[in-house]
Amino acid sequence: MYRFLLSPRWLGALALTLVAAAVMVFLGNWQLDRYRGRTEVNERIDAGQRMAPVPLADALRAPAGGAGTAGPAPAEDKVWTRVTVTGRYDPTNTVLVRGRTVDSRVGFEVLTPLVLADGTAVLVDRGWIPPAPGGATAQPSVPAAPTGDVTVVGRVHETESGAGAVARRDGLLEIRRIGVSRLAGELPYPVYGAYLLLDEQTPAADPAFKAVPVGHANNWQNFGYVVQWWLFAVMALFGYGWVARREARRAAGIGTTPAPLDRAAEPTPTASA
């Protein structure tokens, strides 16, 4: 009944179906890995918000190079760790990160190097401020950083890619994205390989700053793609089986409606003598 499946045409269709299903399963597994990875990031973000701060050295290795160099990037499991560190702000090398959106408004994030007792520095994202009147790129008036010793509590944020060039305008550094290694080249001391997103500060931070929100990764979108690709794989196999069964039933005459009899074409019976 199913011997037709051994024909070249049906064997080719089977091979194509199996390859398509395998590709769909692979894509589903890839999205599953992305779902797990994003879930781990979200869990670290939530854990960082709840945890008691630890010393900076527990999360980041100190830079070992000279002035203008950046230290090693944090280990994956140390990103979003809540840390505390004490030093002195260097306002002469304040960095404006332009084109940053908070509460649907475009403005600037302000980073200021915190210089530690050993001469190294860590970049601290002190928060978001709106631009000056005149447009989204109009340089704002930056609130003064506290003088003297400052204790910062913040979360470790890894460097951003695609930072682009660093410019200096009216005495302030400007950049599009927070590339720590790019910024380190403009600074007169070695810099840690990640920056801190400020949570608390002693003395208190200026109220003009808005806290930079931390967005969670959309892991459920990836989970939806997992289900989608795996369903496509099942549908491809089911479709092949359904078409093959229909073909087998057609060849066997099962389920077909017999042609109606043409009575007019039948010979007229003769009366017997």
| Confidence grade of residue 264 (pLDDT, cut at 50, 70, 90) | low
Average pLDDT over residues 191-215: 92
CA-CA distance, 206 to 209, in Å (whole number)?
A: 6
Residue 120 pLDDT: 96
More confident call, 94 vs 13 = 94
Beta bridge partners of 158: 194
Taking 70 as the threshold, does the pLDDT of residue 266 lie above it?
A: no
Q: What is the pTM of this model?
A: 0.73
* Site of tokens 């590709």: 23
| Confidence grade of residue 114 (pLDDT, cut at 50, 70, 90) | very high
Name the residue among 72, 186, 64 with its Cα closest to residue 120. 64
Write the CA distances from 228 to 25, 39, 46, 236, integer angstroms: 10, 19, 28, 12
CA-CA distance, 97 to 131, in Å (whole number)?
A: 11
| Confidence grade of residue 144 (pLDDT, cut at 50, 70, 90) | very high
Contact in structure between 214 and 176 (CB atoms under 8 Å)? no
Residue 104 pLDDT: 86
Residue 273 pLDDT: 47
Residue 262 pLDDT: 61
Residue 246 pLDDT: 84
Q: Which range has the worst mean pLDDT, 2-6, 18-22, 57-61?
A: 2-6
Phi, psi angle pair for 128, to nearest 5°: -110, 140
Name the residue among 5, 28, 1 with its Cα closest to residue 15. 5
Q: Residue 185 gets which letter from DSSP? A: T
Average pLDDT over residues 68-80: 92
Average pLDDT over the chain, rounded to an integer? 87
Contact in structure between 142 and 173 (CB atoms under 8 Å)? no
Residue 261 pLDDT: 58
The token pair that represents 128 in the structure block:
């978001």
Taking 80 as the threshold, does the pLDDT of residue 80 lie above it?
A: yes
Taking 70 as the threshold, does the pLDDT of residue 272 lie above it?
A: no
Q: State the angle between helix axes of 219-252 and 8-50 in degrees (0 to 180), rounded to the nearest 10.
A: 160
Taking 60 as the threshold, does the pLDDT of residue 150 lie above it?
A: yes
Residue 214 pLDDT: 82
